[in-house]
Amino acid sequence: MFDASNSAPLLGFDFNEASGIGQTMYFPYEVTGAGADVTMSIPALNPGNGIAAPQGATHFEVVFAASELDMETLTYTNAVVAAPLGILPLNSAPLVNQAVVASFPAAPAAASLVVGVVGINFYQQINGKFYALNNNSTNPLAIEYVA
């Protein structure tokens, strides 16, 4: 049975082998859990030197999500991120002490596996619209929290 007690190998798993999180995001962050919340804390993010953006990108979006997995019933509950950072210009001012919270309706059951993922998407803005850069070498996503 796969549960929180033997889930350590999941931590750090990169979903995109062509673009690892450590090859794209150079800013510090931490993902922690308490009760019904899983929080991504970013003490400092300077897009100018904290992100390796692909050619043509004008904007980025830090992606954060959490899910509670019940391996006995094979069901899941996704947490809700009420205030994501959103799409930001690559030349934006540095961000300081940001927290993005993913909240479950109730604290996850002790037998459940809670997984938090972190990633980044890149966009190009043309005529006021954002177009995602969807080549597999630029959009990393990794498991950064397991409990």
Task: Record the pTM.
Answer: 0.89
What's residue 4's pLDDT? Answer: 56
Distance CA 10, CA 22 (A): 16
What's residue 5's pLDDT? Answer: 62
CB 7 within 8 A of CB 124: no
pLDDT in tens, 130-140: 999 877 677 89
Q: Tell me: pLDDT of 6 over 90.
A: no
Distance CA 52, CA 30 (A): 19
Q: Tell me: pLDDT of 1 over 80.
A: no
What's residue 39's pLDDT? Answer: 97
CB 21 within 8 A of CB 118: yes
Q: Which residues, including other chains, have CB under 8 Å from residue 125's CB and lie 6 or more apart? A: 58, 59, 131
What is the identity of the amino acid at 132? A
DSSP E strand boundaries for 1-147? 30-34, 37-45, 59-70, 75-78, 80-81, 87-89, 95-103, 113-126, 129-132, 141-146
Distance CA 60, CA 39 (A): 20
pLDDT in tens, 75-131: 999 999 998 999 999 999 999 999 999 999 999 988 889 999 999 999 999 999 999
DSSP annotation of 47: H
CA 38 to each of CA 21, 34, 54, 114: distance values in angstroms, whole numbers, following the listed order:
19, 6, 29, 9
Distance CA 79, CA 71 (A): 17
Band (51; pLDDT cuts 50, 70, 90): very high
Band (73; pLDDT cuts 50, 70, 90): confident
Domain map of the chain by residue range? 4-146
Band (11; pLDDT cuts 50, 70, 90): confident
Q: Look over the chain and give the mean of its residue pLDDT values, rounded to a whole number.
A: 90
